[in-house]
Structure 1
């Protein structure tokens, strides 16, 4: 599955679909137990079983009257059933009264079903014709207006599955079952290395001729955080021979993933392939994607466990962020034990103009959306403003040679 690449051998290109299916590092983060208040979007390391049934007792789902269903059969507006009101159930308390034949008990939503009853008739279908007598105008079947003691979750059944990020309702279900801590995968530690003599820290007040502030690292850190990872900014490495290899040797022992930003473009200054080849194995150097073709994927030995995935990104910010969203974000989720990343929000729209494309290459096009129309945004891949102005992006599939104006397209929206 991997291949040795040495020196400056370049563009062992793969398609994006081949990459998503084939580059699947086995490394996973360690397991830690976190309190429920810190578990949102974390990935359980194993399914969490219910210690008991939920809700744990037969309860009413409506306001009304607990009855024996047989006592309501045939009831109608013209020929109601009349039942003796023998008591009431209080919320949060065990019923102190049972339902006899021909009797009923007043019930609040969520109340415990009293003995003798097998259904609850809604208050809308009843009336108190005289003190102590309830008129029922609709029949109810056994089990009507109720939830069983184990209808939400049976004892021992999975409250939440392994490998799927926890959502807000999951936390509620865990809390209802009395589970207050969850074993989850640790957040992947993702080290971000910027390279290039022309790159300077964002805090640089005055730029010299040819210098650029490091914008890509901050944006990548945001994507890593969104994917549940812990970004670690390792600073800027100059183009000196051997400098990147030295930096990689220093960060790999404590990293779950390494991103090399701006060190994977064609040319004499491409140090990424050589540095990575000296330390590990390169899976591919080049993706059939626009923008973002000069992308490198590899694995290198780390401090503990399986090899550490290394992603070498193009130097242009737009290209780097487009590629990392498609390839890197799923890798971060995978390291945290999530095989299928949570889907991003999407919408359907009509394309405002023709889009040309080359067969065999995935084209990622930034768009704005107005009144259901997707308008492509174009600009050099060095311009981050193309991304900041976009509402989302569409993908021209690898087999296609373009899309026609008016085509219905799927747009992935930015959150």
Structure 2
């Protein structure tokens, strides 16, 4: 390999499909109040049906459906009021032919009843007598004991991050803890002689603060991982190899924010090659061509370009899915997207995937418009201004203004 070559270059599609390390994080129990966004390690199944009893879904009267057949405004049915059902208690009344019981939403359906008439279609014309003006079928206004969840049904599946409704369903089923995959520990190792900590007050000429690490940490948290800052290493193969060895021993994924120069990339490639197997060095992607994917002692590693915009574009495309995969997530939530019309011509080159940052505005007629943002890949302000990004596929040589495009919105 010469100092200016990329070897084992891949497309983004090949990387997403082909680079799939087997590593998974350990399984740990967590209480429901700490389980949001965590990934169950196995399906959680119901030990009992939900809601567990027949209950009313409306305020009204529990009836035998047959007693309401033919009822109308002009010819109502009249039923004797047998009593009322109280919330949170077993019914003390029984509905027999020609009788009904007052019932609130959520209360237990009393014995003998098979439907509930909404209160809007009734009137108590005299004490103890209820007028019904609408017929109901058996089961109307009623949830059966296993309508929500049957015994043995999956409450929440393995491999999908838990959402707020999932926590509610688990609580209803009496599940108070869930076995989930631990959050992946993601070590962020910054490199470059010019890079200094972000809290550096005064910069000398040529120095830059480490902005990429903070942004990467945000993406890692969004993906469900725990970022760990592994420090800043100069462009020296020996120092980098030592830092990588330490990081690999304490992380589930190592992310190297490499220096921008060809020489710095060579140092990273040499250090990684000495510790493991490089799967890919170079992507058919703009921005983000000098990307490395490797596996060292069972720990996946991503070598990112030094330019911040490029690094974050690559990590969103490849790093975020990898963090989720390490956490056992094989059913990731879909990214929010919007259809829009491209505001201007967008040139591209065939054979590479172009990721273009855009702002999205809505015209008075409701049409969304995507305005491309251009700038060098060293400018983080381009990403900070963007509402999302669009992808120009490899075969395309560009997109014309007015083209209908799909914009993936930033969280």
1:7 touches 1:273 (CA, 8 Å); kept in 2?
no
Q: State the SS of the aligned residue for 2:178.
A: strand
Shift of 1:154: 0.8
1:275: which partner in 2?
271
Mapped to 1, the partners of 2:395 and 2:115 lie a distance apart of 59
Q: Relative to structure 1, is the Cα distance of residues 211 and 246 closer, same or farther in structure 2, using a 3 angstrom cutoff?
A: same
Distance in 1 between residues matched to 2:3 and 2:40, nearest whole Å: 41
Hey, what's the Cα distance between the residues in 2 that align with 1:132 and 1:262? 82
Following TM superposition, by how much is the alpha carbon of 1:12 offset from its aligned partner in structure 2, in angstroms? Answer: 1.8
Instruction: Note if contact 2:192-2:232 (Cα within 8 Å) is conserved in structure 1.
Output: yes
SS at match of 1:260: strand
Task: Please give the alpha-carbon distance, in whole angstroms, between the structure 1 residues aligned to 2:120 and 2:106.
Answer: 17
Matches of 2:303 and 2:235, distance apart in 1: 15
SS in 2 for 1:254: coil
Aligned partners of 2:65 and 2:114 also within 8 Å: yes
Matching of residues 15-164 of structure 1 within 5 Å = 15-164=11-160
Tell me whether 1:376 sits opposite 2:372 in the alignment. yes
Equivalent residue for 2:334?
343
Q: Select which of 164, 170, 179 maps to 1:168.
A: 164
| CA shift for structure 1 position 414 | 1.4
Tell me, what secondary structure is at the counterpart of 1:20?
helix
> Once the two structures are superposed, what CA deviation does each residue of 1:177-222 show, in whole Å capped at 9, x if it has no partner?
1101000000000000000000000111111111100000010001
1:414 paired to 2:405: no
| Unmatched tracts of structure 2, length 5 or more | 363-367
Q: CA deviation at 1:265?
A: 5.3
The count of corresponding residues between Structure 1 and Structure 2 is 406
Superimposed CA distance per residue, residues 156-185 of structure 1 (whole angstroms, 9 cap, x where no aligned partner): 211100000000000000000110100000
Instruction: After superposition, give the CA deviation of every residue in 1:273-317 in whole Å (9 maximum; x if it has no partner).
Output: 11111111111001111000000001010xxxxx11000000000
Q: CA deviation at 1:340?
A: 3.2
Which secondary structure state, in structure 2, belongs to the residue aligned with residue 247 of structure 1? helix
CA contact (8 A) 2:186 2:253 kept: yes
Contact map agreement 2:122 2:130 (CA 8 A) in 1: yes
Structure 2 counterpart of 1:324: 315
- SS of equivalent residue, structure 2 residue 295: strand
Normalising by the residue count of structure 2, what TM-score does the alignment of the two structures yield?
A: 0.97
Q: Where do residues 218-297 of structure 1 align in structure 2 (5 Å cutoff)?
A: 218-263=214-259, 266-267=262-263, 270-297=266-293
Secondary structure of 1:92's match? coil
User: Is the CA contact (8 Å cut-off) linking 2:237 and 2:270 kept in structure 1?
Assistant: no
Q: Contact 1:264–1:270 (CA<8 Å) still a contact in 2? A: no
Alpha carbons 1:364, 1:393 under 8 Å: kept: yes
Structure 1 residue 412: Cα displacement: 1.0
Instruction: Establish whether residue 308 from structure 1 lines up as the match of residue 299 from structure 2.
Output: yes
| Alpha-carbon shift at residue 141 of structure 1 (Å) | 0.4
* Alignment partners' CA distance in 1, 2:13 and 2:152: 39
**Relative to structure 1, is the Cα distance of residues 189 and 7 closer, same or farther in structure 2, using a 3 angstrom cutoff?**
farther
Instruction: Quickly say closer, same or farther: Cα 1:243–1:7, change in 2 above 3 A.
Output: farther
CA distance in 1, matches of 2:306, 2:67: 77
What displacement does 1:267 show? 3.3
Decide which of 353, 359, 365 is 2:356's aligned counterpart: 365
Q: CA deviation at 1:404?
A: 1.0
1:271 counterpart SS class: helix
**Contact 1:11 / 1:294 at 8 angstroms: preserved in 2?**
no
The separation in 1 between residues aligned to 2:5 and 2:238, in whole angstroms, is 17
- Please name the residue that 1:304 is paired with: none
Q: Does the residue aligned with 2:313 lie in a helix, a strand or coil?
A: helix
Q: Is the 8 A contact 1:61 1:145 kept in 2?
A: yes
1:11·1:287 contact (CA, 8 Å) conserved in 2?
no
CA contact (8 A) 1:265 1:294 kept: no
Cα offset, 1:369, TM superposition: 1.0
Aligned-residue offset at 1:254: 1.5
Q: Residue 269 and residue 170 in structure 1: after superposition, are their counterparts in 2 closer, same or farther (change >3 A)?
A: closer
Alpha-carbon separation, structure 1, partners of 2:175 and 2:320: 30
